[in-house]
Structure 1
Amino acid sequence: MSAIVQQPIGGFRPQLATIGLIGSGLVGLGVFLSGFVISEPAPYELFMAGLVGLWFILGLRISRTVGALLAALLVFETGGMMSLTTMKDLSGAPIYVAVSTFLALTAVFYAAIVEDNHARLRLIFRAWVVSALITSMLGILGYFHAFPGSEIFTLYDRAKGAFQDPNVFGPFLVAPSLYLIHGVLTGRLMASPLKLAALLVLALGVFLSFSRAAWALFLFCAVLMVVVQLLKERTGAFRLKILVLSLVAVVMLVLSVVIALQIPKVANLFTTRAQLEQDYDAGHLGRFERHQLGFLMSMERPLGIGPMMFGKIYPEDEHNIWLKSLTTYGWLGFVTYLGLIVTTIAVGFRYLLRDRPWQPYLMIGWITIVGHAAIGNVIDTDHWRHFYLLLGIVWGCIALEHRQQRLSPDSKT
C-alpha cells in the first residue's frame, strides 16, 4: 500500500512503512489461502475480495502495462457475459461468470502489487511454498489413511490435498517446486538438504495425485528450469554445479517413486494412470471425440453456449481450455484468451534472461505458464486460482521491466 501518499513527511513515514508491511503480509496470507479450496466459496475468495478492494481504495496504481492485462481480461469476461444471452436456463451461470471476473481482477491485483514493490515476489513464493507443503502433506496423509477422516483429502483413491480435484491439486504444487529447485541450483549448498526434503514432499504429492497432466507439467517445467539456468549462467563451474545437483535431485526423485511403487495400492493405480490413453479418452464420446464435436459446434455459435452447458449436452465437461474459452466465452473470449497467452509467453521470453532482481520469479512464472498452456489441451484451467496468480506475477515482472527501461533506457540488455 505504498501508493497511499505520494510524498510522506515527518511522522507519517513510520506509519506508512507499518501499513505497507501489514499490507504485504496480508498478500502473503492470501497466497497461502489459495492452497485450501476444499469447498466453495473458499476462504481465499472471501479474503481476497476484501483485500483487493481495500488496496485499490487506498490508492494502488495501475500502470499502462498492467492496464493492458486488465483490458484483455475485461474483454475476455465480456465474452462470458455475452454467452449468457444464449441460455434459456441461467441457473448458476451468472455466478460462474462473476467468479471468472473476480479471479481476473486478482491477476491484475497481483501484477499491480508486484510492480509497486518487486520485493513482494519473494514473500509470494515463500507463502506459496508453505501452503503447498501443508496441502501436499494433507494429500499424502489422506492417501495412506494416516488418521480418521483423512479420506476427505482424497478422491477416487487419488490425493487431492485441500482441493476439490486431484487435477488442480497436482499443478498447484509445480510453481513452488520450481522455486525450491531454483533455490537448490543457485543457493548455498548448506541449505540444499532442507530444500530437497521439501521438494520431495511436493513431488510425492504430485505423484500421488495420479494426474497425468500434473506429472507431465512437473517434468516439463523442471527440465525447462534446468535448461534456462544453463542458458543464463555462462561459467563452466556453475554449469557443472547445476548439472550435478540436477542429477542428484533426479536420483532422489526416482528412488522415492521406486519406493512408493513397492506399495501394491500405489503400483496398481500407477499402472492404470500411466497409460497415455484411457477408456474415457478415446471411447465413444470420449475426451477427444468431445473436443472435435465441441469445436465444430462452436463454429456455429459465435457467442458460445454459456457456462457449464457443454457438460449438459455431452457426458462430461470440455477438459480443454481452448474449447472452454469458445463454449463459455464465445469467439470474442477465445481470440482474447489466445492473444493474452501468446503475448504473455512472447513478451516474458523477451525479458527472461535479463539480469534483474525479479528475474528468478519471472522465470518460474513464465515456465509454469508455458506448461499450463500445454496441458490446457487436455484439461480445463479456467477458474484455477493459482493460474491467475501466475499471470499476475509474469505481468508484474513485465511491468517492472518496462518501468526499468523508462527510467534507464540503456538497461535493455
Structure 2
Amino acid sequence: MSAVEATHSRVAQPQRATLRLIGSAMVAFGVFLSGFVINEPAPYELWMAALLGIWFILGLRISRFTAPLLALLLAFNIGGMLSLTQMKDLGAGPMYVAVSSFLALTAIFYAAIVEESHRRLPLIFNAWAFAAVFTSLLGILGYFHAFPGAEVFTLYDRAKGAFQDPNVFGPFLVPPSLYLVHGILAGKLRMAPIKAFALLILALGVFLSFSRAAWGLFLLGIVILVFCMLLKERSGAFRLRILILSLAAIMLLVASLVVALQFPKVNALFSSRAQLVQQYDGEHLGRFDRHRIGFTMMMERPLGIGPLVFGTMFPEDEHNIWLKSLTSYGWLGFVSYVAMLCCTIYLGFKNLLRDRPWQPYLMIAWIGVLGHAAIGNVIDIDHWRHVYLLFGIVWGCAALEERHKRNPAGARRISGLRTSDGALVSHL
C-alpha cells in the first residue's frame, strides 16, 4: 500500500465507523417500532421501507449462504401472486401479497446484516426487549383501565398493547422474554434483578393477552431454553446456578399468577380461556371443521383461492398457517413455506450448541421459530413481523457459521467494515 493510500484509509476510517454506527442504530430503532402496530401501514413498515432502500443503494450484499432463503421466500410470494388470478374480485388481495413480499425482504435484510456483523445481534434483541416491555406495559395498564382511554390497548377484555390483536401481542413478547431469561441465567448477577423485573412485566403481558398460543409458546420456550443451556454448559457449578435460578423464576411467576387470579375479572376470563378446546374450535364450521374442509378443498385448487377469500366463504379465516399457505399462496407457496421452515429449523439445530459469540441469539431465535411453527397449527403467522425477524436471525447466524468454518481467522474479524469498489459503504 502506498503512503497516499494508507493516509486515505486512515482518514476514511472514522467516516466508515460513523456510518456503521448510524446504520446499526437505525436497525435497532426499526426493531423497536415492530412493537407498535395498531394501524396499517404501521410506522415499522414506513421506517423499514426507507431503511431497506438506503442499505441496498449503499451496497448491501446477499451472500450465497442467505441466497436460499431469498429463493424460497421469492417462490412463496410468487405463489401468492398466482393465487390472485383465481379471484373474481381482487379487492385487498394485491395489497396482501405486497405486504407478504415486503416482510420477506425484511427477513433477507436481517439475515444479511447479521451475517455482516454479529455485534448487531445484541442491539436487535435489546431494542426488541425495550419494545416488548413498553407495549406490555400499555397492555397491562389498558387491561386495568389505569387511565382514561386505556381501553384502546385491549380487545374483548384481553390485553393487546400497541397491537391490533392479542394473539399477535402475546407471541411478540416471548422471544424477548427468552432473551431476559438467558441473561438472568448466564449474565452478571448484579443485572439479574432488573432483568427479572422486566421479565415479570412481559410474563404478565403474555398472561393478560389470554392467548392460549402465547401461553404455550412462553412455557415451551423457557423449558427448551433451559434444557439447551444445560446441554451446552459442562460446568457443574453453572448447571446448579441455572437450576436454582430457574426454580426461583418459576416460583416468582407462580406467585405473580396467584396474585393476578385474585381479581375476579382475571379469574373468570382465565377459567374460560384455560380450556384446551373452546366452543368455537369444535362446533360445526368451527376452527377444526374449517381446517378439515379447507384442506380437502385445496387438493383440487393448485393455485389456491386468493388471499382473504377463505374468510368470505366461512365464518372466520383459516387460523392455520399450513392451510393459509395453500389457500393464499397455492401449492407452490405451501411447498416453499414448508421447505423454508424446515431449512430454518435444520440450520438452527445444526449450529445450536457451538461455542460462538452469536450462539445465545441463535438459540433464542431458533426456539422462537420452532415455537411459532407449533402455534401455526391454530393461527396464521404469515404476516407477523417478528417471525420474519426470527427467520433472518437464524439464517444470518448460519451464514456466520459457514464463513467461520471456511475462514476461522477472518471470522474473528467479521464485525469489521469492508468496502467494495464503486460503493461508498459495502455494509452499514
| TM-score normalised by length of structure 1 | 0.97
In 1: Cα distance, 2:229 partner to 2:317 partner: 38
Corresponding residue number in structure 1 for 2:425:
none
1:25 pairs with 2:29: no
Which residue type is aligned with residue 263 of structure 2? I
Letter in 2 for 1:19: L
Which residue of 2 is the match for residue 87 of structure 1?
87
1: distance between equivalents of 2:259 and 2:64? 52
What letter matches 1:387 in structure 2? Answer: V
Using the alignment, how far apart are the partners of 2:361 and 2:190 within structure 1?
22
Counterpart CA distance in 2 for 1:372 and 1:366 is 10
Equivalent residue, structure 2, for 1:345: 345
Partner of 1:197: 197
Q: Which residue of 1 aligns with 2:165?
A: 165
**CA shift in 2, pair 1:8/1:142, >3 Å:** farther
Paired position in structure 1 for 2:141? 141
- 1:263-313 per-residue CA deviation (whole Å, 9 max, x = no partner) reads 000000000000001010000100000000000000000000000000000
CA distance in 2, matches of 1:201, 1:126: 15
Alignment of 1:10-21 (within 5 A): 10-21=10-21
Partner of 2:73: 73
- Once the two structures are superposed, the pairs formed by residues 269-308 of structure 1 within 5 Å of their partners are 269-308=269-308
1:396: how far off?
0.4
Structure-1 residue corresponding to 2:325? 325
CA distance in 2, matches of 1:358, 1:52: 23
Whole-angstrom distance in 2 between the partners of 1:125 and 1:350: 22
Higher RCO (CA-CA < 8 Å; seq separation 6+): 2
Supply the AA of the counterpart residue of 1:93: G
Q: What residue is the counterpart of 1:4 in the other structure?
A: none
CA shift for structure 1 position 9? 1.4
CA contact (8 A) 2:114 2:121 kept: yes
For this pair of structures, how many residues does the alignment match? 405
- Take 1:408 and 1:138, find their aligned partners in 2: how far apart are those partners? 45
Cross-structure match for 2:122: 122
SS at match of 2:302: coil
How far does residue 10 in structure 1 lie from its aligned partner after superposition? 3.0
1:78-134 CA-partner distances (Å, limit 9, x unpaired): 000000011110011000000000000000000000011110000000000000000
How far apart, in 1, do the equivalents of 2:190 and 2:341 lie?
A: 38
| Equivalent in the alignment of 2:237 | 237
Q: How much has 1:11 moved relative to structure 2?
A: 1.3
Partner residue of 2:390?
390
| Partners of 2:169 and 2:151 in 1: CA distance | 15
One-letter amino acid of the counterpart of residue 139, structure 2: G
Contact in 1 for aligned 2:347/2:395 (Cα 8 Å): no
| Runs of 4+ with deviation above 4 angstroms | none
State the match for 2:4 in structure 1.
Answer: none
1:358-383 Cα distance to aligned partner (Å, 9 max, x none): 00000000001000000000111110
* Partner SS, residue 253 of structure 1: helix
Q: Tell me the amino acid that sits aligned with residue 298 of structure 1.
A: M
Q: Which residue of 2 aligns with 1:405?
A: 405
1:148 maps to a residue whose letter is: P
Within 1, Cα distance between the matches of 2:343 and 2:8?
A: 37
| CA deviations over 1:151-181 (Å, ceiling 9, x no partner) | 0000000000000000000000000000000
Deviation at 1:210, TM superposition (A): 0.1
Q: Could you tell me how far apart the structure 2 residues matched to 1:325 and 1:130 are?
A: 32
Q: Output the amino acid matched with 1:229.
A: M
Q: Indicate whether 1:255 and 2:267 are aligned.
A: no
Q: Which amino acid aligns with 2:49?
A: A
Partner of 2:422: none
Q: Counterpart of 2:249 in 1: which secondary structure?
A: helix
Taking the aligned partners of 1:174 and 1:196, their CA distance within structure 2 comes to: 14
- Paired residue secondary structure (1:326): helix
Structure 2: distance between partners of 1:403 and 1:52: 24
| AA in 1 matched with 2:18 | T
| Larger deviation, residues 9-18 vs 101-110 | 9-18
Shift of 1:318: 0.3
Shift of 1:137: 0.0
Q: Distance in 2 between matches of 1:208 and 1:403?
A: 43
Cα distance in 2 between the residues matched to 1:153 and 1:8? 54
Does structure 1 conserve the Cα–Cα contact (< 8 Å) formed by 2:347 and 2:394? no
Q: Which amino acid aligns with 2:11?
A: G
AA paired with 1:114? V
| 1-structure distance, mates of 2:46, 2:292 | 38
Partner SS state of residue 255, structure 2: helix
Matches within 5 A, 1:36-115: 36-115=36-115
The aligned counterpart of 1:210 is: 210
Give the alignment's TM-score, normalised by structure 2: 0.93
Q: Shift in Å at residue 408 of structure 1?
A: 3.1
**C-alpha deviation, 1:191, in angstroms:** 1.2
Letter of the 2:81 counterpart:
M
Distance 1:376 1:402 in 2: 29
Distance in 2 (CA, whole Å) between partners of 1:392 and 1:85 is 30
CA–CA distance in structure 2, aligned partners of residues 256 and 8 of structure 1 = 60
Write the distance in 1 (CA, Å) between the matches of 2:348 and 2:270.
35
Q: Which runs of 5+ in 2 are unaligned?
A: 1-6, 412-428
Residue aligning to 1:3: none
Please tell me the root mean square deviation across aligned C-alpha atoms, in Å.
Answer: 1.3
Shift of 1:8: 7.0
The alpha carbon displacement at 1:188 in A equals 1.5
Q: Where does residue 222 of structure 1 map in the other structure?
A: 222
Query: Residue type matched to 2:390 in 1?
Result: L
1:367 aligns with 2:360: no
* Distance in 1 (alpha carbons) for counterparts of 2:89 and 2:8: 54
Separation (CA, whole Å) in 2 of partners of 1:162 and 1:338? 30
Separation in structure 2 between the aligned mates of residue 191 and residue 112 of structure 1, nearest angstrom: 31
